[in-house]
Amino acid sequence: MPAHRHRTVLAVLGLALVLLVSGCGGKDAEKKQSDDKPSDSSSSGSGDQAAPDPGYGAAKVGECHQMSAEQSVASVDTSRKASCRGKHTSVVAYVGYLRKPVTPTTPVAQRRTLGKRFCRPAYQRTVGGTLADRATSIVTWTLFTPSQAQLERGARWLRCDVVARSGGKLVPLPTGKPMLAQGVPEQVRICQSDAGVDISCARPHAFRVQAVYQAAIKAYPDPTTYTPVARARCRQLVGSFGGFWQPPSQQGWDAGDRFIRCLSPMATPSATPTP
């Protein structure tokens, strides 16, 4: 074979070998480059956090729950939702948002102030009726704030529920809107046990709150001097016996409750209200 043809064949074979090697090497290089480049999932690694959500875990106004008395006095709600058409013991009356969240370190006095500011008006709108209607019912309000897990997600809401306390239990709420628009149903009217505990009039009771009136005095009623006034006013309101009357608690009086109760005995009680 001539020398120049021999060199030509060698050159062609060498070129083919180079193309073959570079082709495999290029594929491997592309694969390596792909392996070295972070994927979308790795670039959004586990260190990323969800954006703060002020309403995280918040209930909706008008939502109903089946709640126990113990759950109703906790700062965080753990009750279950219930149909508002069926039996339920709480109704969400208000949900609002604060600039700074209420946490376990928030002073109790501050929580009470928030309750008076937000929950009391919401309670009045939800319950309805007159001042006297509300004063002769066991319906009241309670305050809930976010759990620790909800706080960590940015929650800073405040929630007010309406409940009816009968002794150590909650009783089902009226389904009307407002609840006391047609007066005070027996199930949420205030009566008392023979130990003087406020209970539903639908339960056996020793005393019944027949009427209430607002005291026209600033100092807490002194039984020694105020009894003749209370008896006369209760006799006028009830229309008969007016011997049993009861002021609010000292704490309630200090909070602005000036309603004096006029009670009638339903049976021979083992203990009586303030004479």
Spatial CA neighbour of 205 closest among 266, 264, 270: 266
Mean predicted confidence (pLDDT) in 132-148: 96
CA atoms of 121 and 125, how far apart (whole Å): 6
pLDDT, tens digit (0-9, with 9 covering 90-100), for 4-32: 444 444 343 343 333 333 343 443 434 43
pLDDT at 67 over 90: yes
d(CA 201, CA 212) in angstroms, rounded, equals: 16
DSSP 145-207: ---HHHHHTT--EEEEEEEEEETTEE-PPP-SSSTTTT---GGGBEEE-TT--EEETTS--SE
212-228: per-residue pLDDT in tens? 999 999 999 999 999 99
Name residue, tokens 């600033």.
218
- Write the pLDDT tens digit of every residue in 148-160: 999 999 999 999 9
* Dist. CA 191–CA 164, nearest whole Å: 13
Q: Is the pTM of this model over 0.85?
A: no
